[in-house]
Structure 1
Amino acid sequence: MKELHIIGVPSDLGQGRRGVDMGPSAIRYAGLSGRLEGLGYHVRDLGNINVPTPEMTKAADHKSLRYLPEVTKVCTDLFGMVNKVVKDGHLPIILGGDHSIAIGSVAAMANQDQTYGVIWFDAHGDMNTEETTPTGNIHGMPLAVSLGYGHPDLVNIGGFQPKIKSGNVVLVGIRSIDEDEAKLMKQAGVKAYTMAEIDKRGMAAVMAEAIQIATDGTDGVHLSLDLDALDPTFAPGVGTPVNGGVTYREGHLAMEMLAASGAVVSVDVVEVNPILDKQNQTAVMAVELLQSLFGKTVM
């Protein structure tokens, strides 16, 4: 059994609302290490990557890429740390922070000798670029960057691009997509399951297909878990909540199916915002989902 190595990335540089920098602390406070150790894993917490606060720097003008140098540095540092964890034979659990950090975690997985698919749980597509972004916030761009679309500083982290093949990428739970973002998603050939499709077909059928796509010809799956994929009823503490999301049971079923597949080799958990939360409910939800991902079952 692989050791689980936890890495915190307390960054809200890619997000428009402050507070997700406290996400790693909230998830730890919710008992992550102890809960995973209770499942029989050896867990090692490597602490946090050093991240500057917005007060330490000045963002670019609106419609540019806000905090581009700082986000690039954070993702480059994360790339190095995750790369070492994986090469040492361990499984990284990366705690965000906003979703821009996935640029670094996906890059590190792509830097290995093996190839990986990606399952991206999110209310949003994260497929904007500098040309299409309505906000300039880089947390709306990490999937596009990983597929080779975007600013060279971000796309070339690790010294190569693209990081992943679109044919092995699956979006699950989306329900808020910008028009130009949707065009790029179709152009790139990314498979996306909207909440409407989950409603019609059920999470079990969607996840069975998602796992098949992400594992087809690959050596495993990187899971990028944005808590705003969940309905705000279950995960109120996120920066960009969207009604009509994944339910509590649907979320656990998805994680249980991923656990049964044995395919997950790395995971990032992002966008937990304790400032907007209710009694740490969203961080607790994140921990419970990770428990299901790593094998907890009712019986």
Structure 2
Amino acid sequence: MKKEISIIGVPMDLGQTRRGVDMGPSAIRYAGIIERLERLQYTVHDLGNIDIPRPDRNAPEREDKLRNLPEVVDTNKRLAEVVDEQVEKNFFPLVLGGDHSIAIGSIAGVSKHYENLGVIWYDAHGDINTVETSPSGNIHGMPLAVNLGLGHQKLTEILYNQPKIKAENVVLIGVRDLDEGEKDLLRKLNIKVYTMHEIDRIGMPQVIKETIEYLKERTDGVHLSFDLDGINPSEAPGVGTPVIGGVTYRESHLALEMLAESNIITSAEFVEVNPMLDDKNKTAILTVALVGSLFGEKLF
């Protein structure tokens, strides 16, 4: 891992309808993420939060049916520019969300610096809807599609007008809730997916071993997009869109410990922490512990 980390907060809840994930970055900071990383001998630059525009609630319904599109575009443009600047400085960008639509900006900013950026999408959901397939119009269910170059042009052209990643460089882990359109697209693009069925069947160690081997062969950097709803809500209750039957806290630690040992992760984001649904900041505290594992923390 690079020894200098830039923390970028994106307190946005506009990619969906449930309030609370805008407080995620503050909750994670309060849980001690900076102190945790400094104890691991990293130099941490906390860049504060990206300013989030507020939508006009009196504006007429948009024809494109995408919720808060102008504001989500604006936020992700600014996030992409900040991430781009931090990678240019050779710092590790660590983005704190906020709903998962912020992955549009974070991956756009990172992808400028790699020929074949890999992405590990650790999530209960596929987030690969488009305006045609989305049941809700919530952009937090679309960032993976957008980064593949699929979706509204104002989203796909953020920072530069090309797909940011290739389908063959993506691995989904922990998936257990997919819309029909997402299933069709994942099959069409032949994206590597480890659902909870595969995790239960072969175990997390094998899933991560295969993921590392798969991505090492074809990528020159790997972005980790970690949605806390990938973890079972009994252990991580404070998330934007909880789905029962998820990965355990311990399995997640193991996954991140193995990724740390592999030294393939070059940028990361942790998203969808919702303190309004949490129990005594339990999910943010869990997030900080997981970040510690990603950056090489060991018991002894």
2:54 corresponds in structure 1 to 53
Mapped contact 1:63–1:133 kept (Cα < 8 A): no
Query: Do structure 1's residue 128 and structure 2's residue 126 form an aligned pair?
Result: no
Mapped contact 1:168–1:216 kept (Cα < 8 A): no
Give the secondary structure class of the aligned counterpart of 1:216. helix
1:164 corresponds in structure 2 to 165
CA distance in 1, matches of 2:63, 2:277: 24
Q: Assess, with a 3 A threshold, how the Cα gap between structure 1 residues 59 and 42 changes in structure 2: closer, same or farther.
A: farther
1:154 corresponds in structure 2 to 155
2:138 corresponds in structure 1 to 137
Give the secondary structure class of the aligned counterpart of 2:226. strand
Amino acid aligned to 1:235: A
Give the secondary structure class of the aligned counterpart of 2:85. helix
Query: Do structure 1's residue 297 and structure 2's residue 295 form an aligned pair?
Result: no
Q: Assess, with a 3 A threshold, how the Cα gap between structure 1 residues 110 and 233 changes in structure 2: closer, same or farther.
A: same
Amino acid aligned to 1:76: K
Provide runs of 4+ in structure 1 moved above 6 Å.
Answer: none
Amino acid aligned to 1:248: Y
**Which residues of 2 match residues 1-299 of structure 1 at below 5 A?**
1-54=2-55, 58=59, 60=61, 64-299=65-300
Q: Which runs of 5+ in 2 are unaligned?
A: none
Measured after TM superposition, the shift of residue 17 of structure 1 is 0.3
Amino acid aligned to 1:125: G
Mapped contact 1:59–1:67 kept (Cα < 8 A): no
Mapped contact 1:127–1:141 kept (Cα < 8 A): yes
* TM-score, normalization by structure 2: 0.96
The Cα offsets for residues 250-283 of structure 1, whole Å up to 9 and x where unpaired, read as 0000000100000111001100000010000111
Query: Aligned pairs, how many?
Result: 299
CA distance in 1, matches of 2:293, 2:14: 30
Amino acid aligned to 2:159: G
Give the secondary structure class of the aligned counterpart of 1:267. strand
Aligned sequence identity (%): 57
Amino acid aligned to 2:173: V
Give the secondary structure class of the aligned counterpart of 2:184. helix
Measured after TM superposition, the shift of residue 2 of structure 1 is 2.6
